[in-house]
Structure 1
Amino acid sequence: MKKICHFSSVHRGLDIRIFRKECISLANAGYDTHLVIDATAADMAEAASHGVTVHPVAPDAQGGRLSRMVSHARHCYHAARELNADLYHFHDPELIPYGVMLARSGKKVVFDAHEDLIGDIHAKDWVPVRARHAVAAIAGAVQDFGARRFSAVVTATPFIGSLFENLAKQVVVVNNFPLLHELPPAQDVDVSQRKSVCYVGNIHKHRGIQEMVKAIGMSGEQLLLAGDFRPGLLRDEVTGYDGWQHVRECGVVDRKGVADIMAQSFAGMVIFHPVPNFINAQPIKMFEYMSAGVPVIASDFPLWRDFIEGNQCGICVDHTRPDAIADAIRHLRTHPEDVVRMGANGRRATAEKYRWDREETKLLSLYRALLEDRERSRSMRDTEDHRLSEA
Structure 2
Amino acid sequence: MADKKKVVHITTVHHPLDPRIFYKECRSLQKGGFDVTLIAPESDDLNGNEEVKVSPIKKHKGRLKGMVFGTIEAYRKAKAMKADVYHFHDPELIPVAWLLKRKNNTVIYDIHEDYETGIVQRDYLTLPARKLLAKIYKLVEKLMARQMELCLAEKYYKEKYPEGVCILNYPLLNESLLNNRTEKSGDAREILYTGNVTTDRGALIHAAIPKADQDVSVYLYGRCPGSLASQMEDEAGEDKDRLHIEGVDRYLPKEEIDDAYLSREWLAGIALFPPTDHYMKKELTKFFEYMTAGIPVLCSDFPKWKEFIDSYQCGLYVDPYNKKEIAEALDYLKEHPDEARQMGEKGKEAVLNHLNWGKEEEKLLDWYRSIT
Structure 1 residues 315 and 17, CA gap change in structure 2 (3 angstroms): same
Q: For the residues of structure 2 that align with 1:249 and 1:86, how far apart are their CA atoms?
A: 43
Task: Note the 1:362-373 alignment, pairs <5 A.
Answer: 362-371=363-372
Q: 1:6 aligns with which of 9, 33, 42?
A: 9
Q: For the residues of structure 2 that align with 1:104 and 1:90, how far apart are their CA atoms?
A: 15
Deviations 1:42-89 (A, max 9, x none): 525342xx3x111011222xx311112222112112112211111110
Structure 1 residues 115 and 370, CA gap change in structure 2 (3 angstroms): same
Task: Note the 1:189-204 alignment, pairs <5 A.
Answer: 189-192=182-185, 194-204=188-198
Residue 333 of structure 2: aligned partner: 332
Higher mean C-alpha deviation, range 334-343 or range 254-263 = 254-263
Structure 1 residues 313 and 189, CA gap change in structure 2 (3 angstroms): closer
Alignment pair present for 1:179 and 2:178: no
Residue 312 of structure 1: aligned partner: 313
Task: Note the 1:264-283 alignment, pairs <5 A.
Answer: 264=264, 265-283=266-284
Alignment pair present for 1:70 and 2:63: no
Alignment pair present for 1:58 and 2:51: no
Structure 2 residues without counterparts, runs of 5 or longer = none
Residue 214 of structure 1: aligned partner: 208
Structure 1 residues without counterparts, runs of 5 or longer = 372-391
Higher mean C-alpha deviation, range 307-316 or range 193-202 = 193-202
Higher mean C-alpha deviation, range 67-76 or range 20-29 = 67-76
Letter in 1 for 2:345: A
Structure 1 residues 270 and 276, CA gap change in structure 2 (3 angstroms): same
Residue 385 of structure 1: aligned partner: none
Q: For the residues of structure 2 that align with 1:357 and 1:102, how far apart are their CA atoms?
A: 30
Residue 91 of structure 2: aligned partner: 93
Answer yes or no: is the 8 Å Cα contact 2:188–2:334 preserved in 1.
no
Residue 295 of structure 1: aligned partner: 296
Q: For the residues of structure 2 that align with 1:244 and 1:324, how far apart are their CA atoms?
A: 21
Answer yes or no: is the 8 Å Cα contact 2:319–2:325 preserved in 1.
yes
Alignment pair present for 1:224 and 2:223: no
Residue 284 of structure 1: aligned partner: 285
CA shift for structure 1 position 13? 2.2
Q: For the residues of structure 2 that align with 1:99 and 1:162, how far apart are their CA atoms?
A: 23
Residue 261 of structure 2: aligned partner: 262
Q: 2:155 aligns with which of 155, 158, 161?
A: 158
Alignment pair present for 1:245 and 2:241: yes
Residue 17 of structure 1: aligned partner: 20
Q: For the residues of structure 2 that align with 1:301 and 1:312, how far apart are their CA atoms?
A: 16
Give identity over the alignment, percent. 33
Deviations 1:108-162 (A, max 9, x none): 1000000111100110001211212211100011111222121x10010121132
Structure 1 residues 181 and 337, CA gap change in structure 2 (3 angstroms): same
Answer yes or no: is the 8 Å Cα contact 1:212–1:322 preserved in 2.
no
Task: Give the SS at the match of 1:310.
Answer: helix
Deviations 1:194-223 (A, max 9, x none): 541001111111111111121232222111
Q: Compute the RMSD of aligned alpha carbons.
A: 1.8
Task: Give the SS at the match of 1:4.
Answer: strand
Q: For the residues of structure 2 that align with 1:235 and 1:183, how far apart are their CA atoms?
A: 30
Higher mean C-alpha deviation, range 243-252 or range 221-230 = 243-252
Task: Give the SS at the match of 1:154.
Answer: strand
Residue 149 of structure 1: aligned partner: 147
CA shift for structure 1 position 336? 1.0
Task: Give the SS at the match of 2:9.
Answer: strand
**Higher gyration radius (CA):** 1
Structure 1 residues 351 and 314, CA gap change in structure 2 (3 angstroms): same
Q: For the residues of structure 2 that align with 1:183 and 1:160, how far apart are their CA atoms?
A: 32
Letter in 2 for 1:59: K
Answer yes or no: is the 8 Å Cα contact 1:147–1:164 preserved in 2.
no
Equivalent residues, number: 360
Answer yes or no: is the 8 Å Cα contact 2:229–2:245 preserved in 1.
no
Q: 2:133 aligns with which of 132, 135, 142?
A: 135
Alignment pair present for 1:29 and 2:32: yes
CA shift for structure 1 position 106? 4.0
Higher mean C-alpha deviation, range 13-22 or range 65-74 = 65-74
